[in-house]
Amino acid sequence: MWWVYMLECADRSLYTGITNDLDKRLAVHTAGKGAKYTRPRRPVILRYREQVASKGMALRREAEIKRLSKMNKLALAATQSIRRRARHYQTGAPEE
């Protein structure tokens, strides 16, 4: 199974990516070894995740999400309750 995910960065920008191991990928982002975009923008918060059946489906969904406006991305993220249990992936980051 593959995941499409959206992170909110410390500067309030959004990052969308795909992975086949969500926990491992989030740990990599947190360690500052993830995407070049997120490295200087930590801590990151998982705002949205969606499981899909294949890498091809994940790539297509990622592209769809990336084409959305920021407002629509935030609306998509609001469809999940992740915001309430926001996962901060940096040691010492406070829970919301």
In a domain, 92, yes or no: no
pLDDT category of residue 82 using cuts at 50, 70 and 90: low
Instruction: Report the CATH number at residue 41.
Output: 3.40.1440.10
pLDDT given for residue 83 in this prediction: 46
In a domain, 75, yes or no: yes
pLDDT given for residue 79 in this prediction: 87
Task: Evaluate the CA torsion angle 89, 21, 84, 78 in order and state its sign.
Answer: positive
Is the pLDDT reported for residue 94 higher than 50? no
Domain of residue 77, residue span: 2-83
pLDDT given for residue 81 in this prediction: 63
Is the pLDDT reported for residue 1 higher than 50? yes
In a domain, 74, yes or no: yes
Number of domains in the chain: 1
In a domain, 58, yes or no: yes
Q: Please report, for residues 42, 50, 77, the alpha-carbon distance to residue 45 in angstroms, rounded to integers and kept in the order given.
A: 9, 15, 11
Mind listing the pLDDT tens digit for each residue in 6-60? 999 999 999 999 999 999 999 999 999 989 999 999 999 999 999 999 999 999 9
